[in-house]
Amino acid sequence: MRHYSLVVFDEAHRAVGEYAYVTIAKAYRTSRSDPLVLGLTASPGNREEIVRDVCDNLGIVNIEARSDDDPDVRPYVNPVEIDWRTATLPQPVQDIVRGIGDFLEERVRALRDVGLIRSPNVRRRDLLEAGKVLSIGVERFSSSFGRPPFMYYKALMDYAIALKAEHALEMLETQGIEQTLRYFERMAHDATLKGASRSTKSFIHDPRIAEFVASLGRLASAGIEHPKLRQMSSVVSEELARNPASRIIIFTNFRDSVDLIVGYLSRESRARVTRFVGQSSMRSKGLSQREQTEILDLFRAGKYNVLVATSVAEEGLDIPEVQMVLFYDCTPSAIRNIQRRGRTGRKGAGKVVILMTENTREEAYHWAGQQREKRMKEFLKKLDGDLKNRQMKLSDFA
């Protein structure tokens, strides 16, 4: 790479771990005595240590941070309206949420008793941290926590079942009854497979889980659905009635919800809707890169005017200008929030609509994302100063 005088890394926040950017940057810097690197990103990272890691991996020694409010940026930024819309779960669904929450709390309490969790309001991140501790193995666990080996295996079971219950709770609160039922159906199927884990069998065969599943089935048969579906349909209908030429992207965190949303919006006469997901997995059929390109071309040409997408559409793809971005669910990630919003307002005014379920983890996700964005802007200024202080001065050559 010694023949290149400049290397530009787009979406530079990816330069962590084993991502190819890290290897390329290292090879470039070792092959030239005067390497010149430019990293570009709208979302450098959620935490200061991650941004420092990116800078070290790319050889970045100076940061220029800009926001929409900076005088040299403001003339080139199109206005983006942000509209938050809240929804309330129907009371029968709230009752099941409470029941699954109690089931989850039993397992969390057991993890607290052995010292793996200390937080009073447990989220997935707390459970994953407990899982990291359990990964040290039975011998180190027993010596570190002063517990007999059988308690390690019980904690492993409690941890695995708690993760499954937490996921079911998130699906029900933020996605809907149908998606939650699909999740339980997959668990039931997995429990029948050869080599199925004890935690999967214990979870799906628990009488309380069986009752939750039966109750959800009755609600689905009665036509009860997540209120965000109707809100979303209303927003899309209003936008397409106001501007028939609009292009809309709807983001959701889960592939199951993509299929449900596509089916729901197909009832809307103005919406020409299609799914946009990543490549196939063991659980669901995805799209090849060729299929993704074809869909984007058809979206650009107007055959489709609504794209329902997972995180695959958040960055790194040449997606046409859109007039509206709709968050079907919230994410606590500052990077993903920024990338989602950045899909609109590129060539003209844009609009972002965020759907949020009241009194659920979705509210916490929303505010966590807002705080992380704020902190990101603050530590970028601090980090820029630190990097400049590390740069070699003329006196250092003496």
- Give the CATH number of the domain where residue 104 resides: 1.20.1320.20
pLDDT at 388 over 80: no
348 three-state secondary structure: coil
Query: How many CA atoms within 13 Å lie on the side-chain side of 261?
Result: 33
Q: Tell me the C-alpha to C-alpha distance, in Å, between residue 147 and each of 21, 42, 105, 127, 244.
A: 44, 47, 22, 19, 65
8 A C-beta contact, residue 234 and residue 270: no
Q: Are residues 23 and 104 in the same domain?
A: no
Q: Provide the token pair at 133.
A: 């501790």
186 within a domain of the structure (yes/no): yes
User: How many whole angstroms separate alpha carbon 197 and alpha carbon 260?
Assistant: 29
User: Mean pLDDT, to the nearest integer, of 282-299?
Assistant: 83
pLDDT confidence tier of residue 273, bands split at 50, 70 and 90: very high
Q: Tell me the residue range of the domain where 151 lies.
A: 91-221
Q: Are residues 1 and 43 in the same domain?
A: yes
Pick the residue with more confidence: 196 or 388? 196
Q: Provide the token pair at 378.
A: 């603050």
pLDDT at 397 over 60: no
CB atoms near residue 183 (< 10 Å): 20
User: Mean pLDDT, to the nearest integer, of 123-147?
Assistant: 87
pLDDT at 390 over 60: no
Beta bridge partners of 356: 86
Q: Provide the token pair at 240.
A: 């397409």
CB atoms near residue 240 (< 10 Å): 21
Name the pairing type of β-strands 273-276 and 306-309.
parallel
Q: Are residues 179 and 151 in the same domain?
A: yes
Provide the CATH number for the domain around residue 310: 3.40.50.300
Share of the chain above pLDDT 70, in %: 94
Q: Are residues 121 and 235 in the same domain?
A: no
8 A C-beta contact, residue 45 and residue 63: no
What is the domain count for the chain?
3
Short-list 38, 64, 331, 294, CA closest to 341: 331
pLDDT confidence tier of residue 386, bands split at 50, 70 and 90: low
Q: Are residues 129 and 195 in the same domain?
A: yes
Mean residue pLDDT across the chain: 87
